[in-house]
Amino acid sequence: MCANGRRVNSGSIMEFLTLFFIYVLSILTCLALVCKYSGKGQFPLEKLFVYLTNVISHLVPERLQTASNQILHRLFHKRNSFFLTLHFLLEAAVYGEFTYEIFGYCQEIGFSLPSLIVPYVLLTVKMYFFSQCCTKDPGTITKLNNEVFLGVYPYDQVMFYQGVLCPTCVLVKPARSKHCRVCNVCVHRFDHHCVWVNNCIGAFNTKYFLLYLMTLSAMAADIAVLTIGLLLHLVLQSNLMSAAYVDEEGHQQPVGLLFFIVQYLFLTFPRIVFMLGFLMFLFLLLLGYSFFHLYLAVTNQTANEWYKRKSHGCQHCNPSPLQQQSHTSLHNFYSRGTFRNL
């Protein structure tokens, strides 16, 4: 390739494409695993994931499959600090790169200091909500508070029935509660068990979880915007508009600007581009998850109830007209209007 009078062998294109393919594949694989094992297996690429898993299972030795299944079960279905540690490591890597390179570059090219401090402010706010999600009791039901929780919500007689006994806790289950198999306790207004905070999300920490998701999304978006601004400035300074490459016959050909910019930045600033790609994937994932939980809050539902409602609404699972009618009446059973729900 040629930029500012310099040529690079066309083999660098293949090197870039190979590295970029591995990079994208690794990120997509990680996201698929997290979605698969922390979201009850319901995500858009479920069929493709199952198909690829079946194909790979024929190539992997049985002992290795057993060991990997045990590891995945331990990570996603048992209480452990692995994802807490991973959370802090990823956050330290992003903020370390931002502080070490991007912060200084941005100051040099004229970014205002307040705009560069915003990510650190968001980090402080996020850490508060994150700590509340991790340490606050989600609403554990015990013999001492069982009677109190029994009077909070009425039973809808579709998903929650009066007088049902939890076989593990040996307690009458209040409406909207569920026994968490990971924590081995019943939780009031149970939403889900989150591996990233190593705690259940229930009545007393749902609001912190939603705010945690929103601030985390804002963090990813803010750092991504600052990084994109920096990279655009570097591109304009590099005179890439005159870029060209030498084909197999030795002729100089103009290069598609977008492709060359991506390759140039990927090979020149690999850490920054890797971080930006990670942040963009993370932001899109978190944004969808944040909107989903905001929708649950506005409609006064929990994730557990939403999944159950999907099951009740399936004509193959519940073909009975009576059950379909029950599903219709159930739709807004606990809703008290948008503002009261919030």
Q: Which residues are catalytic?
A: 194
Here the tokens at position 15 are: 């090197």
Cα 216 from Cα 96, distance rounded (Å): 16
Encode the chain in three state secondary structure: CEECCEECCCHHHHHHHHHHHHHHHHHHHHHHHHHHHHCCCCCCCHHHHHHHHHHHHCCCCHHHHHHHHHHHHHHHHCCCCHHHHHHHHHHHHHHHHHHHHHHHHHHHCCCCHHHHHHHHHHHHHHHHHHHHHHHCCCCECCCCCHHHHHCCCCCCCCCCCCCCEECCCCEECCCCCEEECCCCEEECCCCEEECCCCEEECCCCHHHHHHHHHHHHHHHHHHHHHHHHHHHHHHHHCCHHHCEEECCCCCEEECCHHHHHHHHHHHHCHHHHHHHHHHHHHHHHHHHHHHHHHHHHHCCCCHHHHHHHHHHCCCCCCCCHHHHHHHHHHCCCCCCCHHHHC
Alpha-carbon 2 to chain mean position = 40
Strand ordering across the sheet containing 6-7: 6-7, 2-3, 244-246, 252-254
Is residue 318 a contact partner of residue 312, using CB atoms and an 8 Å limit?
A: yes
